[in-house]
Structure 1
């Protein structure tokens, strides 16, 4: 195992996952290479990579650093009760931001026959539920911890 890790630069499982990712990317490229939309697709893909690495990564790294600073006197697991619902909410926002922000309402209405009005309310509701469940689970963990260790 150590010999293969030294040869591959990582453990064999991670190497196979990386190899599978490259195989999937190659398959997708072969499927879209003859499409007229390929330049726009590549521009969108590289724009997304740059936007993530140059804008989003520093922003959520800074937010996480601030969050860990706020929770530094608590257990590290307490931070995860904010991280997890924030991640879920953020990913939902990234997936549905045109509907949440009301962008492309005419195209959406033409394609589906529905308006985009419920997107914002539904996203806020899901976000509130995610954070509510996380707070509830944190309270249960604290109560169970105090029940096990009454002196705490």
Structure 2
């Protein structure tokens, strides 16, 4: 039954279930925005973000990825891509705190300072690269062990 579904739909039935759930959530969010009197401004910012991403940000990270694959070709590139993506996204998310933009407003609103943002972001970056390095070393180590197990055994004669 599932094979027939995959032949018809092109993916597992859970894919359709997750897709429909995402569409339902997006519809719920859209209805929540439409009742807000500021919906035209929200729509403007959403469209501006889409255009800015497609015309500015995407070409930048596509060029950076192309440069990275020229410097370090091969399958190990993903062990750099993933932490770099995490670093970039967390930088965008926490940019105002990292550069201490609006420090006075932040302190008045929360009673806290933005002082630890940069150090914590740098620790998070180091952790992402560290975990990626550990996964890379573990995978290459297990691949070497598997490769050695499948090598033909020597006859026992020494070439000394």
| Same topology, TM > 0.5 | yes
TM-score range, shorter chain: 0.7 to 0.9
- Range moving further from structure 2, 97-106 or 29-38: 29-38
- Structure 1, unmatched stretches of 5+, are none
TM-score, normalization by structure 2: 0.75
1:133 to 127, 131, 134: 131
Alpha-carbon offset, residue 23 of structure 1: 2.5
Aligned to 2:158: none
Q: How many residue pairs align between the two structures?
A: 144
Alpha-carbon offset, residue 123 of structure 1: 0.6
Alpha-carbon offset, residue 57 of structure 1: 1.3
What CA deviation, in whole Å up to 9, does each residue of 1:59-112 have, x standing for no partner?
11112222222232x4x1x11110111122222122211111222222211211
RMSD, aligned α-carbons = 2.4
- Structure 2, unmatched stretches of 5+, are 152-160
Larger radius of gyration: 2
Counterparts of residues 3-152 of structure 1 (less than 5 Å)? 4-5=8-9, 11=11, 13-72=14-73, 74=74, 76=75, 78-150=76-148
